[in-house]
Amino acid sequence: MNANERYPNLHVLGHPLILHKLTHMRDLNTSTKTFRQLLREISLLMGYEITRNLPLIYQPVQTPLTTFDAPVISGKKLAVVPILRAGVGMAEGLLELLPSARVGHIGVYRDHDTHRPVEYLVKLPEPEGRLFILTDPMLATGYSAVHAVDVLLRAGVTANNIHFLALVAAPEGIDVFFQHHPDVPVYVAAVDDHLNENAYIVPGLGDAGDRLFGTK
């Protein structure tokens, strides 16, 4: 896991399995079914990395041979919050790894002309003492991610209890995000080259929501 020199809270998870699966997701000829499966698998793999610092305690466990003190997660409460709609695919992978996590939803769409987020839904679990993992496959302009973090902060979540998880990021989106929220960790599989005139990541993987749900 590589931290960025300019942005210490940017973590690029360049694991070979993640990169291999991401390459297949980028392929124009990958089917909706396969795209969906790969997104779930990558999200699960990324989940191992972003939860590596969960606190542990030791409690007695009786094995077939003896009793000893074994490590368990110390009761840290978790929430997975997809940014609708493409973030849902990533949430499914994380929930396989974290089946007891609560689930929230933040619904935003990008205005066609301004490329700025428009909010239409917010549903969140109780924030106290809970780590919130925001999911969105693409960190493009960065404004939807910034808006989602703003929503959590207004709900009473502290910045140190927010992680943002994406597959692919554009440099422009990274800049915007950390201008607003430098203390929130961002985990991505890859940082691509740039945004085009329509605010799509290049080379990217296209519209993640359309490819995930088979829409146009």
Residues labelled as active-site residues: 110, 114, 207, 210
Question: DSSP 3-state helix, strand, coil percentages of the chain (rounded to 5)?
Answer: 35, 30, 35
Q: Is 61 helix (H, G, I), strand (E, B) or coil?
A: strand
The answer to whether 150 is a known ligand-binding residue is no
The answer to whether 144 is a known ligand-binding residue is yes
The answer to whether 158 is a known ligand-binding residue is no
The answer to whether 110 is a known ligand-binding residue is yes
- Report the alpha-carbon distance of residue 57 to residue 55 in Å, rounded: 7
The answer to whether 138 is a known ligand-binding residue is yes
Q: Which two tokens stand for residue 17?
A: 């399995």
Signed CA dihedral, 207, 32, 102, 54: sign only? negative
The answer to whether 67 is a known ligand-binding residue is no
The answer to whether 208 is a known ligand-binding residue is yes
The answer to whether 159 is a known ligand-binding residue is no
The answer to whether 206 is a known ligand-binding residue is yes
The answer to whether 111 is a known ligand-binding residue is no
85 strand-pairing partners:
none
CB-based burial of residue 113 (10 Å sphere; 0-12 exposed, 13-18 middle, 19+ buried)?
exposed
- Report the alpha-carbon distance of residue 163 to residue 184 in Å, rounded: 6
Q: Which two tokens stand for residue 159?
A: 């910045």
Q: Radius of gyration of the chain from Cα atoms? A: 18
The answer to whether 30 is a known ligand-binding residue is no
The answer to whether 26 is a known ligand-binding residue is no
**Residue whose C-alpha is closest to residue 10's, from 139, 178, 209:** 178
Residues that constitute the known binding site: 85, 110, 136-144, 201, 206-208
Residues that constitute the known binding site for uracil: 201, 206-208
Residues that constitute the known binding site for 5-phospho-alpha-D-ribose 1-diphosphate: 85, 110, 136-144, 207
